[in-house]
Amino acid sequence: MPLTCHAFIAASLDGFIARTDGSLDWLEPFNAVDEDHGYDAFIADKDGIVMGRGTYETLLGFGHWPYDLPVIVLSQSLTVEDIPDSLADYVAITDMDPAELVAALAEEGWSKAYVDGGQVIQSFLNAGLLADITVTRVPLLLGQGRPLFGPVAADIRLTLRDCRSFPSGLVSSTYSVLPVT
């Protein structure tokens, strides 16, 4: 069975996933709300996580590592020396391109990967490797920051699979990424 890749990410209503400096402080009031936004069900069947350097460094700043799954960090600049000893069993660094990485992870027996981080999601979309994406829109306008989406080589068609709204004002939409025809 081939490896499939799936994204789950929050974005401000105007499409930013972080402030310009990478800060996620704007999400804190929404994280404190006692609502199930579907993340636990999403992550339950994943074999591991693929993320970029920026996401990895943001997570390191949290003070606790949030994942029990293996994490692969895509980076051209980080090395194994950038992994704290406490995470050596969980985190690996690679400079493979998305297609190479997907092939390697499939060889290792992965069947489903969680893809996280704006640039990584964009690169997997552009490579035609993302099966679906769940975007949870946060009712907040940041005005500027790191965008969820960037330039694409060609139109990427999506089809809406599910949409849920929550009392906090968050709206979660899951889209299947249609193959290029």
Q: What contacts 14, CB < 8 A, 6 or more positions away?
A: 141, 142, 143
Closest CA to 158 of 134, 136, 141, 138: 134
Mean pLDDT for 120-126 is 94
Tens of pLDDT, residue by residue over 31-79, are: 878 888 999 999 999 999 999 999 999 899 888 899 999 999 999 999 8
CA distances from residue 94 to 51, 97, 104, 169 in whole angstroms, order as listed: 10, 9, 11, 38
* Token pair for 46: 């994943």
What is the rounded distance in angstroms from the CA atom of residue 162 to the CA atom of residue 20? 30
Tens of pLDDT, residue by residue over 2-35, are: 899 999 999 999 999 999 998 899 999 888 788 8
pLDDT of residue 64: 87
pLDDT grade for 1, boundaries at 50, 70 and 90: low
Mean pLDDT for 118-124 is 94
Bridge pairing between strands 130-138 and 4-12: parallel
pLDDT of residue 180: 73
CATH homologous superfamily, domain 4-177 = Dihydrofolate Reductase, subunit A (3.40.430.10)
Q: What is the mean pLDDT of the chain?
A: 93
What is the rounded distance in angstroms from the CA atom of residue 174 to the CA atom of residue 164? 9
Q: What contacts 84, CB < 8 A, 6 or more positions away?
A: 60
> Is the pLDDT assigned to residue 143 strictly greater than 80?
yes
What is the rounded distance in angstroms from the CA atom of residue 6 to the CA atom of residue 130? 6
Share of the chain above pLDDT 90, in %: 81
Q: How much is the CA Rg of the chain, to the nearest whole Å?
A: 16
Share of the chain above pLDDT 70, in %: 99
Domain ranges of the chain: 4-177
3 state DSSP class of 68: coil
Q: How far is CA 87 from the centre of its chain?
A: 19
**With contact defined as beta carbons under 8 Å apart, do 56 and 71 qualify?**
yes
Tens of pLDDT, residue by residue over 89-110, are: 999 999 999 999 999 999 999 9
**With contact defined as beta carbons under 8 Å apart, do 115 and 50 qualify?**
yes
pLDDT grade for 145, boundaries at 50, 70 and 90: very high
